[in-house]
Amino acid sequence: MEANNSQVNQRIATIAAHLNPSNNSQTVGPLGLERRDCRAKGGSAGFKVAILGAAGGIGQPLAMLMKMNPLVSVLHLYDVVNTPGVTADISHMDTGAVVRGFLGQQQLEEALIGMDLVIIPAGVPRKPGMTRDDLFNINAGIVKTLCEGIAKCCPKAIVNLISNPVNSTVPIAAEVFKKAGTFDPKRLLGITMLDVVRANTFVAEVLGLEPREVDVPVVGGHAGVTILPLLSQVKPPCSFTPKEIDYLTDRIQNGGTEVVEAKAGAGSATLSMAYAAVKFADACLRGLRGDAGIVECAYVASHVTELPFFASKVRLGRSGVEEIHPLGLLNEYERVGLEKAKKELAVSIQKGVSFVNK
């Protein structure tokens, strides 16, 4: 009886092995396109994602959620400290993505080679009383270094930039890529998803709607008054009293500060930022996969206004940003807000550009 069982097991194991092709299959399609089979041991077909700053307050929950995402086949975690611990932790999760950890700047390049999507939460967070701009000096240097690595190792990757102040770090990244000759405006996106998430939540609260059903476009930038929620364009269509508009706009613009104060020095939004970043990264991956109709707000190189960068709804596809939606109709309140936003945004953008060119 014992022998029979093990024979049966052997047969089944052999059959099972046939169902799992080895790593060597690289098929070349009729158009000469190479379709790399991403099957690492235990991995599934999917995308290679790197998180730069994976051991930090945002990076850790972000890494956990990306490990759970079925579209990720390989997950690279990079940071200057603590990555071995985070990698060991996450590698135990029973989901398909293969996790590798990289520690210290000397391993940055290894972490980046072959990546399809790079998410950058690296940097220091705000403390109570600080603006996002106060972080500029430290975070600008960090972003510059990381982008130099990206330009060298995975210039075609889609870059999702979270490090604040996003209004400046995205122009910094652009300048670094331009200098390296690898700048692709379709592939560099500043994450403003958390503003959208907050807007959806607060509007749903006020109106008594299901928060997952609400969609508020948020344009402009990612700091204070540069965050411009277009309440007149909410889906499902709703009308607001002027008091509600003031309250909501104010709350959405200061959502980040709300959390910094509540944490009283212990940090800024980490969990909701990870949630929003993963939602957005997931949208990028679905676009890369070829899904149609993926539209999200992001801060990108843009002609929607006279500024070189601006956040608005973009359509994501195989090459990154495939189409930038125009702002649409704004009401009086929003037009006034837009002018205020543009003024501050212009300064932040210039600050970033100058930093790289000095």
Closer of 68 and 225 to other proteins (Cβ): 68
Closer of 219 and 353 to other proteins (Cβ): 219
55 annotated ligand binder: yes
Closer of 12 and 336 to other proteins (Cβ): 12
59 annotated ligand binder: yes
Q: Which long-range contacts (CB under 8 A, 24 or more apart) does 281-285 make?
A: 281/49, 281/66, 281/69, 281/117, 281/119, 281/160, 282/69, 282/71, 283/316, 284/117, 284/158, 284/160, 284/189, 284/316, 284/320, 285/46, 285/47, 285/49, 285/69, 285/71, 285/72, 285/116, 285/117
Tell me if 173 sits within 8 A of 188, measured CB to CB: yes
* Distance of closest approach, residue 295 Cβ to other proteins, in angstroms: 11
Q: Which residues pair with 315 in a beta bridge?
A: 295, 323
* Distance of closest approach, residue 118 Cβ to other proteins, in angstroms: 20
4 annotated ligand binder: no
* Distance of closest approach, residue 176 Cβ to other proteins, in angstroms: 31
* Distance of closest approach, residue 334 Cβ to other proteins, in angstroms: 20
Closer of 63 and 327 to other proteins (Cβ): 63
54 annotated ligand binder: yes
Q: Which long-range contacts (CB under 8 A, 24 or more apart) does 203-210 make?
A: 203/231, 203/234, 203/238, 203/248, 206/240, 206/244, 206/247, 206/248, 207/238, 209/236
Q: Which of 76, 222, 303, 325 is catalytic?
A: 222
For this structure, is 222 an active site residue? Answer: yes
162 annotated ligand binder: yes
Annotation: binding site: 53-59, 79, 126, 132, 139, 162-164, 198, 273
Annotation: binding site for substrate: 126, 132, 164, 198
Catalytic residues: 222
Annotation: binding site for NAD(+): 53-59, 79, 139, 162-164, 273
